[in-house]
Chain A
């Protein structure tokens, strides 16, 4: 055998060992049935085989076509949770990866039904502890989690990351931030915000897509910027823009931890915090991380990088937990491990 082949074989053997060493959790493909659709998901289990069922955290995605691992974003959390003996469950959004249907055809009620289907699925798994199910939701999940938390007491706690309360207010806030980031102020900003208000009013009337396109073509000021939505996105928006989580929050009795970044340009974190504080019925804690964005990524690493770019994905996966704001993973882990020890009655289980 040629020496090049021998060296390559040795290197191959070393890399196989490296894969096993780097794989500090087990990840299995699962299928969850939700209404007419099949959701293709990932169940992440701790490496050490537990003789008792393990607690589980269900991950609920934010906006966009997101796969079960959120392109690697969840990896630091999965890793930390698995090391602490906690399982994670997530799924490809409808129409992404192996899941049927299409996420743009869903409203927030349907997404909440998906979460309920996932809880049902967890309850039937012998290796998962149905008495210790928690949920972590990101951004748009702020309109998904409250209704399920209010109605399903199998969920014992929640972590809400950069979540919003009212769709319209969130949209307005995001537009203001975008226009300000373009350097707009005074008269110009006011003019563009007037246009945005008119656009929102049009969307609320659920006008046909062509009317929306015509309105954009005829009325959009050049300085407004922004993209014209595709037909599917337009329908998704008009089907969801009335959503407001505040009424449901009053019925949420489980402990909730809300985490935000102070540089969030998407969600008005002060409005979310104020609403959660005033409306949630159960224990509520929150934390605002400095120099962190909507995804709780450190500004020093990710400021100015488009979130949908390949470079963002490469950097996020390369940095892993180091790309996320300090303490985020530790705070989630601490909250989960503390609350996962609650039994069905909400009492701490000794020795767990």
Chain B
């Protein structure tokens, strides 16, 4: 049994590290490409890039590590029956139950190393578009290396924590449930999304203004709907499986939550985008266009906050509804 567990864990590590490598490099390359190719073409020297390296890179590292750890947690949850006799203390002496527990002061300092390295590389480079793309590859690999180190450091602890959680499952009351959902599913992705997508949309709006002199509220309403819907689905995709895993490991409770189907999940996220769209459309009768970078940033960030809240809420409602149905199915089973 111990051998099976070790073999399983090694296989998971290998698979998840490859996933981590591809997602780290591709995501960092994608964000660099967007930053470089969409107006106003941030190949220009700008404090933006220092902010990007020093703030977004640590966040990227944590998000990649947490995503990989979340997949490991889900994989562990699926193998609970096979590992029912594993000695948890032999796996890890410091079990953790949530992937985001990898965020500590020590690991934050560790993530600052590639951030400062990236900023220094940028400072000393020629900063041409070609060089920036090579820097993007460097940053992608640096994100992978550090997030992989975090993954390696916390993988066994999370597996042990998951096994312990499953063996002594304690139902959470509503306030504990909401607390768990906000602390470990909403807040981390909210911070990441606000900085990554908020930055992207602010940049896009400012590029638009640099190009045309202003942006009409009707255009802003359309872009807000698109960004709200995209970020809503993105947030939902990121948190749905981890929430489902949490609910399988530990009964959660949300009062007044009825059946919530896939179509309702889609409808909620697609429909939510109409709220900022309508607000901006109406506002357009009073303020036809905007040029202020500050106001555009405020609008972009507000939309992202709203979208993440909607996406995570939809995921939580859907996961809870599913867990309730499964519970009912099991209790009805002969």
Contacts and interface: CB of A to CB of B under 8 A. Distances in A.
Contacts, number: 150
A261 B129 CA distance: 25
Given A8-B141, A67-B41, A75 B46 contact: no
Interface string B44-57: 11110000000000
B218 to A, nearest CB: 14
B283 interface: no
B282 interface: no
Contact of A15 (B37, B134, B211): B134
A347 interface: no
A42 B127 CA distance: 10
Given A15-B141, A65-B211, A2 B13 contact: yes
Contacts of A41: 45
Most chain A CB neighbours (cut-off 10 Å) among B13, B14, B42, B127: B127
Given A4-B17, A4-B21, A65-B211, A40 B45 contact: yes
Nearest to B43: A69
A349 interface: no
Contacts of B37: 310, 313-314
Interface residues of B, number: 44
Interface stretch (A19-27, A49-57, A154-162, A247-255): A19-27
A320 B130 CA distance: 9
B176 to A, nearest CB: 36
B19 to A, nearest CB: 11
A271 B44 CA distance: 34
Contact of A23 (B18, B44, B126, B214): B126
B263 interface: no
Given A22-B134, A310-B37, A96 B44 contact: yes
Given A15-B137, A71-B41, A232-B213, A97 B21 contact: no
Interface string B191-215: 0000000000000000101111110
Contacts of B134: 15, 18-19, 22
A320 B17 CA distance: 36
Interface stretch (B94-102, B145-153, B232-240, B264-272): B145-153
Contact of A2 (B17, B38, B124, B137): B17
Contacts of B149: 1, 5
Contacts of A69: 43-44, 127-129
Contact of B44 (A9, A67, A320): A67
A313 to B, nearest CB: 6
B179 to A, nearest CB: 35
A26 B126 CA distance: 6
Interface in A306-352: 310, 313-314, 317-318, 320
B40 interface: yes
Contacts of A92: 40, 44
A102 B213 CA distance: 7
Contacts of A71: 41, 43, 129
A40 B44 contact: yes
B44 A27 contact: no
A97 B152 contact: no
Nearest to B148: A5
B107 interface: no
Contact of A20 (B124, B144, B211): B124
B130 A4 contact: no
Interface of B: 13-14, 17-18, 21, 37-47, 121, 124-131, 134-135, 137-138, 141-142, 144-145, 148-149, 152, 207, 209-214, 291
Given A2-B152, A15-B138, 15 more contacts: A4-B148, A12-B141, A15-B137, A16-B138, A18-B134, A19-B138, A22-B131, A27-B127, A67-B43, A75-B128, A79-B126, A97-B45, A98-B45, A232-B214, A233-B212
Interface of A: 1-2, 4-5, 8-9, 11-12, 15-16, 18-20, 22-29, 40-42, 65, 67-69, 71-72, 75, 78-79, 92, 95-98, 102-105, 230-233, 310, 313-314, 317-318, 320
7 contacts: A2-B17, A5-B152, A8-B145, A20-B125, A71-B129, A104-B213, A317-B130
